Structure 1
Amino acid sequence: MPPRRAITGRSQEPRQRFAEELRSLRAKKGDSLRQLGDAVGWDWSLFGKMENGQTIGSPEVSQALDIYYGTPDLLLTLWELAAGDPTQFKERYRRYMALEAEAVSMWHYGVSTVHGLLQTASYARDLLSAGGIKGEQLTRQVEARIGRRALLDGDDAPRFRTILSETVLRTPLKNPEEWRQQLEYLLDMGERPNIMVQIVRHQVGLHALSNTDAMFLRLPDGRTAAWVETGYSGELVEETAAAERLQLSYDLVRDLAMSPVESRKFIRQMWEEASCEPST
């Protein structure tokens, strides 16, 4: 029997086919990249890179696009084929979670969102929903995320520093009251002796971590491991020299951040501004 021929005219190479499908769906919708970014909630430049084949993005992005285009699981399936090994990211993250549970101190930098350990349930739900998660799966993931906050409780809790870009505080939830609750939670957690919250203002300009979320874990044996994440990929860094280079970038960003006292005043200012806005 002769081999089956492709009749669609589309590429049979997974990454190329994924990019072609993205371009085709957007063309049918009639959206510009900026319009797509506004509608789905991700930076429009990411979609340009995905359509050009520079990156395949994350499964969360593909899920969100499937919802927007009305193509249930099509893009997610193509993403899995393009990724080659869809379990790779999950395995790396499971390894990170195991190291996190052992950490004696943790240092975080956040580009656009509050770290999961400092999120309220409403914030976590809105963030996960924006990634296309819904129904029972959404409920389970919110509960799991809130459950992780116990890591910062107790007498033996690790020291935790989070440095947040001003963007985090300029990106509110749709519900003003829920947003105020999130800001209050940041203030409350910042009062704990083992937690430090700092803000990097826009006015400092570009810096070494301008587009990269990072978490550094100081382990009991003195080693430092890092989890580095952009909008479309995540990487666990355990090699000493590489982790130290990343930590130097973090130290430079810390030098640009406001002090914990100044940061607290800024968060309070954001809370007051949110409180003055009329509820809808």
Structure 2
Amino acid sequence: MKKTSATAGAGGPAPASGPTTRRRQVGFRLQALRKAAGLSAEEAGELAGISKATVSRYETAKGNVRWNQVDHLCRAYNASDDERAAPVELAKNSKVTDAWWVSQVSSMPSDLGMLIALESEAQRISQFASSVVPGLLQTHDYARGITATPGYEVAPDDLAALLNTRMQRQTLLRRDAPPRYRVILDESVIRRAVGGPTVMAAQLDHLLERAEDPDITIQVLPFARGAYSGALSGFITIGGPDPNLDVVYTETISGSLYLEKPEELTMCAAAFEYLLGEALPPNSSAEMIAEVRKQHLKSEE
């Protein structure tokens, strides 16, 4: 299947890193330099002539970055020319581009806007889905079925925009240089009849089709494997060339969380590898999905 660009007006492969990733790289490097210099954020700000709040904002990748202030900070940290060159160059190219979601981000929940920004710049995505098919693999009817479930509150006027955003996110996997996408589905995901048997059968057909893409791997964690460690909820790990800048996104009943501390990344990476070892191989997973699809259709007879 031919992949199309996911960036409006671009037409070519996505860059190795986008504005959100660049700002995070700037922050990561600045924080490392500051700690190596033995300075607090307040001391660094005084030496560079900027506020403590700005130092903190740069290190946590909140908002736009001024390259000249990054340069001042690097000099305050006595960074070498080589150490200074990288964050300054990243800062010069850290402004948001014309990706499809930029014009819509003001109307999105902030957590969703950040997720889409990170996805758009990812080189690899690993996901464990414990209850529903991941948004990147949902059909339109399946996504609509989720919004119809009790407790899922979305205003009718917002429904079309929400579904359109969900479908737009999926262009990420069809662009010229897509991320490597690895997905583990708990068996309950393929058995839960969201939207009814016909909608669910079509959704499973879609999973089988997407699994043929060489950049996408879909595996099922069967009930037969028993309970998995820690009764894990679903999570997504989004990354690029530097594993230190990976981000884990997870949803809870009270909201969404972004995890990026080294110990959190290590824990989530170990959990995914454990689940990968418990899941069926891709071919066996496809066979199970095809069989469960037949069962959904039969239940409608």
TM-score interval for Structure 1 and Structure 2 normalised by the shorter chain: 0.5 to 0.7
Q: Which segments of 5 or more consecutive residues in structure 1 lack a partner in the other structure?
A: 1-88
2:142–2:195 contact (8 Å) kept in structure 1:
no
* Residue of structure 2 in register with 1:261 after alignment: 283
Matched, 1:108 2:130: no
Q: Distance in 2 between matches of 1:173 and 1:272?
A: 15
180, 195, 215: which one pairs with 2:216?
Answer: 195
Alignment-derived partner of residue 190 in structure 2: 169
Deviations for 1:33-64, whole angstroms, at most 9, x for unmatched residues?
xxxxxxxxxxxxxxxxxxxxxxxxxxxxxxxx
Runs in 1 of length 4+ with deviation above 6 angstroms? none
Residues 240 and 157 (structure 1 numbering): CA distance in 2 closer, same or farther, change over 3 Å?
same
TM-score (norm 1): 0.64
C-alpha separation in 2, matches of 1:198 and 1:268: 13
Match of 1:182 among 203, 212, 215: 203
CA distance in 2, matches of 1:169, 1:244: 28
CA drift at 1:240: 2.3
Give how far 1:245 is off: 1.4
How far, CA to CA, are the matches of 1:209 and 1:189 in structure 2? 30
Aligned residues: 192
Judge conservation of contact 1:216–1:226 (CA < 8 Å) in 2.
Answer: yes
Q: Counterpart of 1:64?
A: none
Q: Distance in 1 between matches of 2:230 and 2:294?
A: 29
Residue type at the aligned position of 1:111: S
Counterpart of 2:257 (choices 235, 254, 257) is: 235
Cα contact 1:164–1:199 (8 A) shared by 2: yes
Q: Work out which of the residue numbers 140, 153, 165 in structure 1 matches 2:161.
A: 140
For structure 2, which runs of at least 5 residues remain unmatched after alignment?
Answer: 1-107
- Deviation of 1:91 after TM superposition, in Å, equals 3.1
Task: Give 1:133 deviation, angstroms.
Answer: 1.8
CA contact (8 A) 2:222 2:279 kept: yes
Partner of 2:266: 244
Q: Look up the equivalent residue of 1:169 and give its one-letter code.
A: I
Structure 1 position 159, deviation (Å):
0.8
Q: How far apart are 1:218 and its partner, in Å? A: 1.5
> Would you say the 8 A contact 1:99–1:219 is kept in 2?
no
For residues 278 and 91 of structure 1, do their structure 2 counterparts lie closer, same or farther at Cα, with a shift above 3 Å needed?
closer
1:118 aligns with 2:142: no
User: 2:141·2:195 contact (CA, 8 Å) conserved in 1?
Assistant: no
TM-score normalized by the length of structure 2: 0.60
Alignment of 1:45-124 (within 5 A): 90-124=109-143
CA shift for structure 1 position 231: 3.5
Structure 2 contact 190–289 (Cα < 8 Å) conserved: yes
Q: From the superposition, tell whether residues 93 and 236 of structure 1 become closer, same or farther in structure 2 (CA, over 3 Å).
A: farther
Q: Distance between the aligned counterparts of 1:152 and 1:270, measured in 2?
A: 25
Decide whether the 8 Å contact of 2:181 with 2:216 is kept in 1. yes
Kept after mapping to 2: 8 A contact 1:213/1:230: no
SS of structure 2 residue aligned to 1:258: coil
CA distance in 2, matches of 1:227, 1:209: 17
CA-to-aligned-CA distance 1:1-49 (integer Å, 9 cap, x gap):
xxxxxxxxxxxxxxxxxxxxxxxxxxxxxxxxxxxxxxxxxxxxxxxxx
Identify the residue that residue 278 of structure 1 maps to in structure 2. Answer: 300
Q: What is the alpha-carbon root mean square deviation over aligned residues? A: 2.0
Change (3 A) 1:93 1:178: closer
> What is the letter of the counterpart of residue 185 of structure 2?
L
